[in-house]
Amino acid sequence: MNIDLLESMPIAFIYVGVAILMLVFCEVGYRFGVRGRTLQDKEAPISLGPIVGGLLGMLAFVLAFTFAMASSQHDLRKQNVLAEANSIGTAYLRADLLDKQYGTEVKRLLREYVDIRLKAASGSDINTALANSVEIHNLLWAQVSLAAEGAPIQIPL
């Protein structure tokens, strides 16, 4: 089974599917139990204990499955945030390698980028934050391009 397919499905769809499967299999088990009873068992009341036990077991399975998916999503997001923070920190330190006029502007743009990302993470409009991030990225690239044109790298042959 392709794990990407499972991760791309909405959790509500998975929940409804598992709930329906639980109900169907409970009904199938109940029908087998009714059919398998002998004549002397017909007078005995039907025990719901095994059905309740099975439902609680399936509930525990669904909860464990849901928490595992949420945990993996949380870990992935945490890794992405850490990678972005490291990249920003590295870019900030490398701005010292540029001329003073370009390095100062690059550092200012990086601080502005971090502010935008923090506002986006705290719940502001994500589309505006993405548009501003792309604009800052273009401005950063323009500053680095100007710095490279001013002091081209000489590669010895």
pLDDT digits (tens, 9 = 90+) for 41-96: 555 566 667 777 788 888 888 888 888 888 888 888 899 989 999 999 999 998 88
What pLDDT sits at residue 90? 93
The residues spanned by each domain of the chain are 1-71
pTM given for the model: 0.55
Can you tell me whether residue 130 is helix, strand or coil? helix
Q: Which region, left, alpha or beta, applies to residue 45 given φ > 0 means left and ψ of -120 to 50 means alpha? A: beta
Contacts of 105 (CB under 8 A, 6+ apart): 143
What is the amino acid identity at position 128? Answer: T
**With 80 as the cut, is the pLDDT of residue 6 above it?**
no
The mean pLDDT of 13-24, rounded to a whole number, is 86
